[in-house]
Chains A and B, each alone.
Chain A
């Protein structure tokens, strides 16, 4: 009985938390525009007139991209730290943090998206993407 009551209260709290969160989403405008998200959701067949859900998807995507970028940044900084130990001349050059395919592919592989890009193709500026999404 107690357990049930507790779970009921918990559910009620969770419900309110979710609804509060969705309401707060209307104040926070995500970086990814709503129109873009709407376009791709429509492409996938997902119909929803509710704007809050579109904002939810946009925020989720933003979180995902931010995580991947953060991981790549960590890889980049780690690489620079390793280089600085060897040569101090490169210190000034490598102050700029640049997102490269190497760092990106490492961080994406951790998320579960294997991105292969051979060295030869990289020189030509092409990147062939092979990864599995649940399409």
Chain B
């Protein structure tokens, strides 16, 4: 017994390398077909006389029956291909059956000049059909696997379009709508043929309209940004129609935009360091930029009225860029009204959040000194 077990284990180890071969019928994609096979095999076993079965035995037998079908098909296909045919016929199947039954043997197997038509295999099957009872399959099986209908992109010929260019045959799929590549439309205009002229004009108008619409929606979205209401639904829906990222870029002066306010000190330093001309609409002093903030602080650091909030949002909020100036405090904060140290610290924290704690402390000290000096004056 021990020797037998060892041999079995060796066989399993050797044959485990062949595992991938059998995976064809063990994969999850085949579960449905295997389940149907199990039902059919169970019905057959019941007709033979069995009253029950072990699950492993049923699975084994159904797997083998499925492989039987597969191997018949493979052999039949092979013999059809050898004969130079793509489709199989009854003789190919009989050849396949003979191959599979050759180890058991069938009547007439040893005849040299036997005809396939009078094969013993067929006779056996005929006899079997005559003898066996009619057992229909237990369930209604629809055709599987269900083939997904592919969305056919029409060819030029089908869409009755003339392909742009002689080198493109008409049976190729047509180009996508120009809306999807709207930015390049101006370049395309030159390359497209005369026949497409009218079409491109109407499409251009359509594109422009969609662009305007998308821009409007963008504006609306920014305006409603603070409300955080459900109005974003509407703008979002429109945005999906036309991609704003693919809209043509705006030229300077096309759209009225609130001016970007730079602190004067920053802008001056930038101008000194970089010879690039900074195009800022208005040079606004530091005081004016921080006027709303100062007012807010006067009323109280925490509370702010709605009116003042509106004041704040009339102007575009300042965008703080790090232009590589270094760790310097932002401007003179000498005109702040509040005297409390806590408030000053809070103000300092507004301007020094991203620096290290040491710098923060230094700044706080600086601010304190300056405010004290100014108050003295």
Contact = CB atoms under 8 A, between A and B. Distances in A.
B54 A66 contact: no
Contact of B36 (A33, A111, A122, A135): A33
Interface in B109-142: 115, 117-118, 121-122, 124-126, 128-129, 132, 134-137, 141-142
B48 A73 contact: yes
Contact of A31 (B44, B69, B76, B97): B44
A32 B73 contact: no
Interface string A38-49: 111101111111
A127 B64 CA distance: 13
Contacts, number: 225
Sorting the interface of chain A by its residue count into under 10, 10 to 19, 20 to 34 or 35 or more gives 35 or more
B104 A44 contact: no
A91 interface: no
A97 B48 CA distance: 11
B12 A31 contact: no
Contacts of B129: 21, 24-25, 28, 59
Interface string B67-89: 11111111111001000001111
- B contact face: mostly helix, strand, loop, or mixed: helix
Contact of B72 (A14, A28, A57, A72): A57
Contacts of B144: 35, 39
A106 to B, nearest CB: 12
B237 interface: no
A35 B311 CA distance: 74
Given A21-B122, A61-B69, A125-B55, A47 B88 contact: yes
Given A18-B117, A65-B65, A99-B50, A48 B104 contact: no
Interface in A110-129: 111-113, 115-118, 122, 125-129
Nearest to B9: A118
Contact of B61 (A50, A63, A69): A69
A70 B61 CA distance: 12
Contacts of A115: 60
B141 A135 contact: no
Contacts of B145: 39
A33 B137 contact: yes
Given A33-B141, A39-B144, A115-B60, A69 B89 contact: no
Contact of B41 (A14, A35, A65, A112): A65
**Which A-B residue pairs are the 8 nearest by beta carbons?**
A44-B73, A99-B53, A46-B73, A14-B118, A41-B73, A112-B103, A14-B117, A130-B15
16 contacts: A21-B129, A31-B44, A36-B40, A39-B145, A40-B69, A43-B73, A44-B74, A46-B80, A48-B89, A52-B90, A59-B125, A60-B97, A73-B49, A104-B60, A130-B12, A135-B21
